[in-house]
Chains A and B, each alone.
Chain A
Amino acid sequence: MAVITYREALRQALTEEMERDPSVFLLGEEIGRYQGTFRVTEGLLQRFGEMRVVDTPISESGIAGMAIGAAMIGLRPVAEFMTFSFALIAVDQIVNHAAKILYMFGGQIAVPVVFRGPAGGGAQLSAQHSHSLESWYAHIPGLKVATPATPADAKGMLKTAIRDNNPVIFMEHAKLYSTRGEVPDSDHAIPFGVADVKREGRDVTIVAYSQPVLLALHAAEKLAQEGIECEVVDLRSLQPLDMDTILRSVSKTHRVVVVHEDHRNVGFGAEIVARIQEFAFDELDAPILRVASADVPIPYARNLERAAFPSEDDIIRAVKRVLG
C-alpha cells in the first residue's frame, strides 16, 4: 500500500481505466498540453495522445454535450470541469439530457459519462468560483453523485464512476488534491452507496462528505481529548445514499451533527435530517444540528471567507450543543 496524494490517486484511476478500456477518453479545458489546472491529468496527453486526452475550448455546454453524445454510442468519456462552478453553464446538458435520456427513451440509450472536477472553495476565489451545489445534482433522478474525501476513496470511486453505465457527477475538492493517504496498489473499485465509518465513537455521530470529512476528523480528535467520542460517517456518495450506515450509527449514539460545505438552506444535510427523523425518530436524544456554509455568496476577504465556511470550531460547538 503506497502513500500518495488525492491528485495522484485520481490520475492513477484515470490511467488504469484508460489502459484497461480503449473506449475511455478524457476531455476538458487545459487537461492536455497544460497538464490540467490542478495537474490531475499530468502526463496523460503524452501517454495516450490527443484523440484520448482532448483539450477543449472554454465551452462547457459543448464539452458536456460532446461527452454525452459520445457516451450514447458506447464510449466512456470523462469530462473535466475546471471547477463545478463552471458546470453551471452546462446544467441543461447534464440535467435535461444526460439525466433524462435513459428514462425518456424507455431504457434504450445509456449514458456512461463522468463529469468530474473540483467543487467547493476556500482559496479566496470569492462568489463565482466557490460553489458546492452537490444537492442540485443529487436532486435529479438519473444522476449519481460521488464526493470522495480521501485518496483511497478518490481512486476507488473514480474507477467505479468510469465503469458505471449511468451519468456520474464526481465532485472532488481543491483543498483535497494535495492531501496524502494510503491507497491499495491492487485494482480496487469502491462501490457507490456504501458509507465509510472513518472514526468510531459512542457519543455523537458526525455525518459528512468530501473535504468536511477531514474537518470532522480533526474536530473529533480534539473532542476526544475532552472525553467526547465522535463517530464520523463519511457518506462517500450522495446518490445512491447509504442510509443504513447512518441509521446504525444513530442507533448507537442517539445524537447527530451533519456537516457540509454547501449552504445550509436546502442543502443536502436537510435530506439527511429528514430521513433520520423519519426512520429513527425514537432513537434521537437531541435535535439534529447542521454545520454548513453561511447562506451568503462566498466573500473574498480572508476573514469573511473563513467565517462563511464551516470550521472545526463550528463542529465542536455543534457537538457540544447536541450533547446538551
Chain B
Amino acid sequence: MKAEVPVKRPLPESLTPQRLVELYRTMLLIRHFEEQCSPAYRQGKMGGYMHVYIGQEAVATGFVAHMRDDDYMICSYRDHGHALARGSDPRRLMAELFGRYTGVAKGKGGSMHLVDVERGFLGGYGIVGGMVPLALGVGYGIRYRGTDQACLCFFGDGAMNIGPVHEALNMAAVYKVPVVFICENNRYAMATPVEFASAVPNLAQRAKQYGMPTRQIEGMDVVEVFREAEEIIQHVRTTPEPFFVEVVTYRFEGHGIADNPTNQALYRSKEEVEYWRQRDPIVNTARLLLESGFATENDLLAWDAEAKQKALEAVAYADASPEPPLEELYRDVYTDMEVEEWR
C-alpha cells in the first residue's frame, strides 16, 4: 500500500504555480484550524458533536476555488473546511465553535451550522441530506432570475440513502437547475461502510439514472479535484442541467469527537487508516510543490507556521470573545415578532 504520487497528468492550464500554492495554503489553514478543535473541545471550550474534515481538505478546497463571488454553496454539518475554503474569517468561525457572540451565527448555530451570507455560503446543516432539497431551491431561484450563477451542494455518502435527496436529484434534473451535487464519499456513514449501506456502492452510478451527467473523481488530490471541478462548474453554468459528482475521499479522524480510536476499531483497521493517511492531500501537494520547483522547504515551513499562527489567533480571539447576551435567546425566532418570555 504505497502512497500514490498525485501528478498523473500535466497541471490544468488555469492552475498556475501561484494558484497551486493558494490551494495548498488553504488546506493547511483548514488542517491547523481543526487541529486546534480537539484540544479546545477537551478543555470544555466547545460542545456538541464536532465533526472534523481532516483528510478531506482537497475536496472543498478544489471545488470552492472555482466559485465566483456571486455563487452559492451549501453543505452538511462537516462544514469547517468549506467555510475556510470560501474565505470566511477563521476567528469568527472559531468563535462560533466556542459559542461566542462574535461567531458567524452569534453563537447560536455552533460547529454544524456555520454560515457566511456575504460569500454565498448558505450554511451547514445537521440533518443528513436535508440541504439537498434546499440546493434544488437555490438552483431554481437562479434559473428563475436567469443568471449564470452556480450552486455547489456538498453532502456525504450517508445522504445517498435518505429519501428527500432522491426527490431533489430527480427534481433538479426535471427543472434543469445549475447545481453541482458533490457527494463526498469518505467511505463511512458514521461507522457504516458504503458497501454495506448501498446495494450499488458506486454512488455516481446510482445518480446516473436521474438524467444528469455524473462523474466519480479522486478526492485526495487537490490538483485532480481542481481540474474536474473547473469543468463541472463551468458545465452547470453554461448548460442548463445539474451535475452529480462522487468524490472519493477519506476522513482520517472519527465521525465526531466521540468516535475515538477505540470506537473506530469497531469498523475500520489501523492499516486502512494508515493507507489513506499515506495519501494525505497536504503532504502530497507539498511534495508536488517541491518536485515542481514551485516552492522550497523554507517556503513550506513558513506557510505551515503562518497557517498555524492563524489558527492560534482564531482560538485566542474566540477565547477572548463574550458569550451571547441572554436577550439573544429570544431574538431571531421571527424577523418581525417578539417571542413571549414566560419564565
Point out residues on A near B: beta carbons under 8 Å: 25, 51, 54, 56-57, 59-62, 64-75, 77, 92-93, 96-97, 101-110, 141-142, 144, 164-166, 193, 240
Contacts and interface: CB of A to CB of B under 8 A. Distances in A.
B109 A97 contact: no
Q: Chain A: interface secondary structure?
A: mixed
B109 A104 contact: yes
Interface string B21-55: 00000000000000000000000000000000000
B167 to A, nearest CB: 3
B127 interface: yes
Contact of B335 (A70, A72, A102): A102
A62 B164 contact: yes
Contacts of B196: none
A305 to B, nearest CB: 31
Interface in B130-188: 130, 132-144, 163-164, 167-168, 170-171, 174-175
B108 A66 contact: no
Given A107-B106, A166-B334, A97 B141 contact: no
Nearest to B168: A62
A129 B174 CA distance: 28
B331 interface: yes
A34 B164 CA distance: 25
Interface stretch (B115-123, B244-252, B263-271, B279-287): B115-123
B243 interface: no
Contacts of A92: 127, 130, 164
A62 B105 contact: no
Contact of B144 (A51, A110, A165): A51
A102 B170 contact: no
A60, A71, A103: residue with the most chain B Cβ atoms closer than 10 Å: A103
Contact of A102 (B127, B132, B164, B333): B333
Contact of A70 (B103, B125, B141, B337): B141
A103 B134 CA distance: 17
Nearest to B333: A141
A57, A97, A110: residue with the most chain B Cβ atoms closer than 10 Å: A97
Given A109-B115, A109-B123, A142-B334, A69 B105 contact: no
Contacts of A102: 332-335
B115 A105 contact: yes
Nearest to A67: B137
B125 A62 contact: no
A235 B109 CA distance: 34
Contacts of A164: 336
A59 B133 CA distance: 10
Nearest to B336: A165
B104 interface: yes
Given A62-B164, A68-B137, A108 B130 contact: no
A74 B149 CA distance: 15
Contacts of A71: 137
Contact of A66 (B105, B130, B171): B171
B339 interface: yes
Contacts of B108: 103-106
Contact of B134 (A75, A77, A97, A144): A97
B326 to A, nearest CB: 15
B237 interface: no
A57 B105 contact: no
B82 interface: no
A65, A71, A104, A142: residue with the most chain B Cβ atoms closer than 10 Å: A65
10 contacts: A65-B137, A65-B168, A66-B137, A66-B168, A69-B134, A103-B333, A106-B109, A107-B106, A142-B334, A166-B337
A65 B168 CA distance: 8
A74 B130 contact: no
A107 B171 contact: no
B86 to A, nearest CB: 15
Contacts of A60: 167
Contacts of B103: 106
B113 interface: yes
B130 A97 contact: yes
Given A70-B140, A107-B331, 4 more contacts: A61-B163, A61-B167, A107-B335, A240-B337
B63 interface: no
Nearest to B328: A106
A73 B332 contact: no
A109 B123 CA distance: 9
Nearest to B146: A51
B98 interface: no
Contacts of B164: 61-62, 65, 92-93
B115 A65 contact: no
Contacts of B123: 101, 104-105, 109
Nearest to A62: B167
B137 A70 contact: yes
Closest 3 CB pairs of A and B: A65-B133, A69-B137, A62-B167
B132 A65 contact: yes
Contacts of B133: 61-62, 64-66, 68-69, 93
